[in-house]
Amino acid sequence: MTVSLPKNRVKTIRSLAQKKERDETGLFIVEGVRLMREAAASDFEIVEVFYTAEAAGESVEPELLETLRRRCAIVERISAREMARIAGTVHASGILAIVRQRPAEAGRILESRGSGRCLVALDGVADPGNVGTIIRTCDWFGVDAVIAGQTSADLYNPKVVRATMGGMFHLPVATDVDLAAFVPAAREQGYTVYVTELTGGKPVGTVHPEGRSLVVFGNEAWGVSGKIGAMADVRVTIPRMGAAESLNVAVACGVVLSHFQSPSE
């Protein structure tokens, strides 16, 4: 049966596009079949699910809906028009969920033991697409956790969620972390601190991390802040071979991790 959503409920769901509302409620929006599969397979709490008959007949497999019904008490079919009212994307995918936030605790991440651990910290990475892509990249390269500093884009921003392509459901992400306190604490736990810089650092291909690594990536415009940069054990640079002025931070993350996380030969 297709249900109709009251205006106040539509307003409440749409309000989760705003950080203030996400912070107050502890909830965020997940849209799309692929992300829904990842959410359903994770241990995140799924609070409500909405889907359209059209999506159920075309892109949303019955097994996924069955899994969501087992995971969530509220799974409702709504019209395509209703979905367009609550969806954050221009072309609604036909399935949307409200999920409870579950940020990791930075302290607990540091307490985890293991000689081969690699953490990535974000110091002022402001663009949601970059933050999401970095999380996706870290997921690909087997990074143990991502530490998002206080001035980085909100993990639960819909654009970040989409750009992670499910990566946020696979690895711990600590948010709103005071990196000025976290970085020294990581060093005390045996982490070597690698700070990425546009120029002046050691060429990334010549750096061979051993043991525990904390790799810091900075803001799109000005890089890692001076305060955090001063804490570096090693400064790392990707050598420029062409004429481009700079390299996108998410691309830089992939290049660095491809060296740092390469399997032993």
Pick the CATH number of 2-100 from 3.30.1700.10, 3.40.50.150, 3.30.1330.30, 3.90.1570.10: 3.30.1330.30
Least confident window among 20-24, 114-118, 131-135, 189-193: 114-118
Query: Is the separation of the CB atoms in 16 and 143 below 8 Å?
Result: no
Q: How confident is the model at residue 263 (pLDDT cuts 50, 70, 90)?
A: low
Q: How confident is the model at residue 264 (pLDDT cuts 50, 70, 90)?
A: low
Going by C-beta distance under 8 Å and a sequence separation of 6 or more, which residues neighbour residue 217? 120, 121, 122, 123, 125, 134, 196, 224, 249, 252, 253, 256
Query: Is the separation of the CB atoms in 119 and 147 below 8 Å?
Result: yes
Answer whether residue 249 shows pLDDT above 50.
yes
The confidence score (pLDDT) of residue 91 equals 61
The confidence score (pLDDT) of residue 265 equals 41
CA–CA separation, 45 vs 26, rounded Å? 11
Q: Which CATH architecture has domain 106-260?
A: 3-Layer(aba) Sandwich (3.40)
Q: How confident is the model at residue 90 (pLDDT cuts 50, 70, 90)?
A: low
Q: How confident is the model at residue 116 (pLDDT cuts 50, 70, 90)?
A: low
Residue intervals in the chain for CATH 3.40.1280.10: 106-260
Token pair, residue 169, equals 């459901």
